[in-house]
Structure 1
Amino acid sequence: MKKTAIILGATGLTGNILLQRLLEDDRYGQIVLFSRNSSGRNGPKVKEYIINLFELHQYEQEFKADEVFCCIGTTKAKTPDKQTYKAIDYGIPVSAARLCKIHNIQTFIVVSALGANTKSSFFYNRIKGLMEKEVLNFDIKNTYILQPSLIEGQRREKRKGEWFFKQLASAMPFLKVGPLKKFQPVPAYKIAKAMIYLANSTHKEIRIKNHKIHEIADAND
């Protein structure tokens, strides 16, 4: 029997690539999207709910699937208000994990960030760390947290910090080897590949570090 997957964040860089790959994957019969804006994707496999994601809990009856992929995330530039920032990067993934627990959905895969830490002095990393901690508290059987460094790909908006790091990485090959390898930017398509692999296999690690995302994606070309 073919599976049903839910994607949160299908209009973003990683989520959009993930959606395309799942649509092409014969193991999946339906892809359910919860989004603020339309993904622009139509077809028999797509079921889309255009909602206020802060009110995801109100869609409990529609939140049913075999697997949930959460690609939600924002930036300081896009969301300077810290309360709103936390509501997005912490609140939405935690709400999704709670609904997984309610409906006994046993696979939850979420994109976090390298450096996520509840005790970090950096607000962004601290919020990601708090999100990870709360998600794990739901004790969903197959929980995987991906921790990418900078994510590469064609975005609609420009991110100055990411552009600078990419230029630095391209000019300094040693960032791709040795102890600095863990900071190597990861293409969004590799994150999507790793997420699908993890949903369809067993992996002993819950937190998938940046270099492991590269390894999983490269091993499943």
Structure 2
Amino acid sequence: MTINSRSALLAGASGLVGTELLHVLLENPVYEHVKIMVRKPLDAKHPKLEQVVVDYEELENYSIHFKVHDVYCCLGTTIKKAGSQEAFKKVDYEYPVRLANMASVHGVQNFLIVSALGADAESKVFYSKTKGELEEQLKKLELPALHIFRPSLLLGNRQEFRLGEKTAIALSPIFSLFLTGPLQKYKPVSARSVANAMYTIAQINQTGIYTYPSDQIKKINQQTIHETKR
């Protein structure tokens, strides 16, 4: 592929990572067309941006929009915001699986998704269990390239206030001093770093299933910044 010849589809453009990723996709010349799936239009305009208002319950009706090279999934919510575990699972499990199925059907080259550190289908923690089950289901699909990003605590400006998260972020500089060696993956990572890493990985011509914990996300981001400055 040459510059200005690729196309991308992003789901979850209004979230913390999704907002940053949208900026990254629009700023870089690799993509000549960027589609975002939204429930209601965002206050965003760009010559190569197309907003597609969708009903995730009827995602199959939007199959034409999956004729792209790369699909980025940044969908995610909280049980408090969703209102119940069932509603949470729709957003964090069911909808991403539907997106991946559609991507598989249309031969999308890369499916890139934000999961979470600690994702484990056997976990007794509902959040971690759901993320783990999602990862396992995605691995069963016939996707040419599946890239799973597992950030730890995300740093960035959220639209909604989360007391527990704000407290953790405030204390993170202290805790980070003790997170060395194998524990580095537990250090907080910025949403922008995750977005940059997702974009960078999508530009590599490779097939298979890959998982990136926080420390690896940071390395990819730092390497990209270094190469850009050269």
**TM-score, normalised by the number of residues in structure 1:** 0.94
- Mapped pair 1:105 → 2:108: yes
Is the CA contact (8 Å cut-off) linking 2:26 and 2:46 kept in structure 1? no
Aligned residue for 2:81, secondary structure, equals coil
Quote the Cα distance in structure 1 between the aligned partners of 2:173 and 2:134.
32
Task: State the SS of the aligned residue for 1:220.
Answer: helix
Q: Determine if the alignment matches structure 1 residue 217 to structure 2 residue 217.
A: no
Partner of 1:70: 73
- The aligned counterpart of 2:44 is 41
2:196 aligned residue (193, 198, 206): 193
Cα distance in 2 between the residues matched to 1:202 and 1:208: 17
Separation in structure 2 between the aligned mates of residue 113 and residue 123 of structure 1, nearest angstrom: 12
For 1:180 and 1:147, the matched residues in 2 are separated by 14
Q: Give 1:61 shift.
A: 2.2
Unaligned runs of 5+ in 2: 226-230
Contact 2:152 2:187 in 1 (8 A): yes
Partner of 2:58: 55
Other-structure match for 2:228:
none
Deviation per residue, 1:92-115 (Å, 9 max, x gap): 110011001110112100000000
181 and 205 in structure 1: CA distance in 2 versus 1, 3 angstrom threshold: farther
Contact persistence 2:149–2:212 (CA under 8 A): yes
Q: Point out where structure 1 has 5 or more consecutive residues left out of the alignment.
A: none
CA contact (8 A) 1:181 1:211 kept: yes
Q: Aligned residue for 1:206?
A: 210
The question of whether the paired residues in 1 share the 8 Å contact of 2:145 and 2:209 is answered with no
Q: Residue 205 of structure 1: CA displacement?
A: 6.4
Question: Which residue does 1:162 correspond to in 2?
Answer: 165
Does the residue aligned with 2:121 lie in a helix, a strand or coil?
Answer: coil
TM alignment of 1:77-156, pairs within 5 A: 77-156=80-159
**Distance apart, 1:200 and its partner CA:** 0.4
| Cα separation, 2, equivalents of 1:117 and 1:4 | 32
Q: Post-superposition, which runs of at least 4 consecutive aligned residues in structure 1 deviate over 3 A?
A: 202-205
- TM-score scaled by length of structure 2: 0.91
- For residues 21 and 130 of structure 1, the distance between their equivalents in structure 2, rounded to whole angstroms, comes to 29
Please list the CA deviations of residues 17-72 of structure 1 after superposition, one character each: whole Å capped at 9, or x if unmatched.
11111111111100011111222222320111112223222211222200000000
Equivalenced residues, count: 221
Across the aligned residues of Structure 1 and Structure 2, the Cα RMSD in angstroms comes to: 1.6
Closer, same or farther: CA 95–205 of 1 in aligned 2, 3 Å: closer
* Partner SS state of residue 36, structure 2: strand
Identity of aligned residues (%): 33
Contact 1:112 1:146 in 2 (8 A): yes
In 1: Cα distance, 2:80 partner to 2:188 partner: 20
